[in-house]
Structure 1
Amino acid sequence: MNVERMRPGLGPLYRQVKQRVIRNLIDETWKPGEMLPSEPRLAEAFGVSPGTVRRALDELVSENLLVRQQGKGTIVCRHDPERSLFHFFRLVDPAGQRPTPASLVLACFRRRAEKAEAARLSLTAGAPVVVIDRTRSVAGRPLLVERLVLPARLFGELAQVAPADLPNTLYTLYEERFGVTVYRAAEQLTAVAATEREAELLAVAPGTPLLEIDRLATSLDGVPVEWRLSRCRTDVHRYRVELV
């Protein structure tokens, strides 16, 4: 294990350890599903106390980058479909249960970024992007329609994939095929009216109120990797966030 020892004066030592662990995840020194060295080994390598390492790892566990397994150690999280759904899909049914939606990809293609897309993804004007249009349904009932815009420099190969071959949970694909881990996702909510196309896809009347979820997903190193606009029916399902 080759890591840089921490240096006093550059901020709290546990935060330096945390950032160094994140850098090792970005560099794939430790890959999803792999086990980290023991806390005593990390403490020795970083030149800090085991308590400092534990505090740094505790924060990364709370941020769902790492997971502790009893009797095994600390493991780098994978974006498996269940984990992705739990952390990033916020719609619940009347009983408060989070359904498993089925996806239907309507289109997947490559083009030049529109002005708003380039701005949200921190791209130069007209940079190539991959666009995915799809609907998501629960028990055969259309729930939402969404557009995803991705930087082609990261995901250009997706434009060559048949829509039917794209998985339901794309974050798993980003990680396993392209080595891009979604670390954070910031969402903004707005009430909008269904367009004629959205009304047709969602089986509602034009002008029906919908919930728009504007999500910008970023990677471990803070780079925007996906802009997603979802427009959802809320006559049955609700958007729920738990604050603790």
Structure 2
Amino acid sequence: MNSLSGDTRLPQYQRLRDHLAQQIAQNRWRPGEAIPTEAALSAQYLLSTGTVRKAIDALVSEGILERQQGRGTFIRRPQFQSSLFRFFRFQTAAGERQVPQSRILSVEPVAAPSAVAQALGLPADAQVIRIMRVRLLDEQPVLAEEIWLPHALFAPLLQLDLSQQGPLLYPIYEDVCAQVVARAEETLTAESVNDVYARLLQVPVNSPVVVIERLARDYAGTPLEWRRSRGHAEHFRYSVDIR
């Protein structure tokens, strides 16, 4: 039997929802793994099945859990691999989709600039890890990215050669640091590129670029990563299905 912590002014289903989300963020269950049944959770926390079901429903609606007919309720693993294709069109001359290659330029510990500390919910000048990388098509840079991570959570990355670990960072975060990105918020803007990113993207200074800011969080909502991806405006696309 377990008791729920948290603000006792909140409804019990909300406290259970928050408790389960925290357990998931702490790897009590791994992505793709089933959580206990509603009956088991009811017995464990001495709550009605209706209260448990309402908490599970909330986590399902948030995309943290998913129900599989006849099998149970599982930790959902988000798919981020195709997110860039919502904003950029990367294609061959024949019109086939291409996935840009990844080239790590640097990985270093630094003091967090104020905007980074604010985004990640860290104290001013907290230690963070900055990753610089470019994404390329046919050896031509199409995206330049700066990626910021809390040092306390991602220090093991400093011992790795990330250039030898594959093009996707989130599986590395999970395998090496036990940090799972569960969801992300993205903001789209445009700017004139400065000399640093003009050099990385091989475009003239003040050329227009599209900027995607992404704040990635774990299952409990704690910020894990803040990144800025700057891309050639010529590759930019935006589409939305309005019903």
TM-score by length of 1: 0.80
For residue 152 of structure 1, report the CA deviation from its aligned partner: 1.1
Instruction: Specify the code of the residue in structure 2 equivalent to 1:223.
Output: T
Instruction: State the shift of 1:209 in Å.
Output: 0.8
- Contact kept in structure 1, 2:17 and 2:55, CA below 8 Å: yes
Displacement of 1:15 in angstroms is 2.0
Question: Residue in 2 aligned with 1:201?
Answer: 200
**1:88: how far off?**
7.4
Map 1:201-240 onto structure 2 (within 5 A): 201-240=200-239
Q: Aligned partners of 2:9 and 2:98: how far apart in 1?
A: 45
- Partner residue of 2:117? 118
- How many residue pairs end up in the alignment? 239
CA separation of 1:138 and 1:52: change in aligned 2, threshold 3 A = farther
Equivalent residue, structure 1, for 2:100: 101
Unaligned runs of at least 5 residues, structure 1: none
The share of aligned pairs that are identical, in percent, is 35
Q: Deviations over 1:165-189 (max 9, x none)?
A: 2432222222232122223423333
Distance 2:200 2:7 in 1: 58
Shift of 1:75: 1.4
List, as ranges, runs of 4+ consecutive aligned residues in structure 1 with deviation greater than 4 Å: 5-9, 86-89, 138-141, 239-244
| CA-to-aligned-CA distance 1:188-232 (integer Å, 9 cap, x gap) | 332111223423432433322111122222333333222211111
Q: Distance in 2 between matches of 1:24 and 1:88?
A: 30
Q: Which residue of 1 aligns with 2:77?
A: 78
Query: 1:16 aligns to what?
Result: 15
The CA distance in 1 between the partners of 2:164 and 2:53, in whole Å, is 41
- Listed as ranges, the gaps of 5+ residues in structure 2 are none
> Given that residues 188 and 212 in structure 2 are in contact (C-alpha distance below 8 angstroms), is that contact kept between their aligned partners in structure 1?
yes
Aligned residues of 1:6 and 1:47 also touching (Cα < 8 A): no
- Residue by residue over 1:133-192, the C-alpha shift from the partner in whole angstroms, topping out at 9 and shown as x without a partner, is 011235655331110111111111212222412432222222232122223423333211
Kept after mapping to 2: 8 A contact 1:106/1:163: no
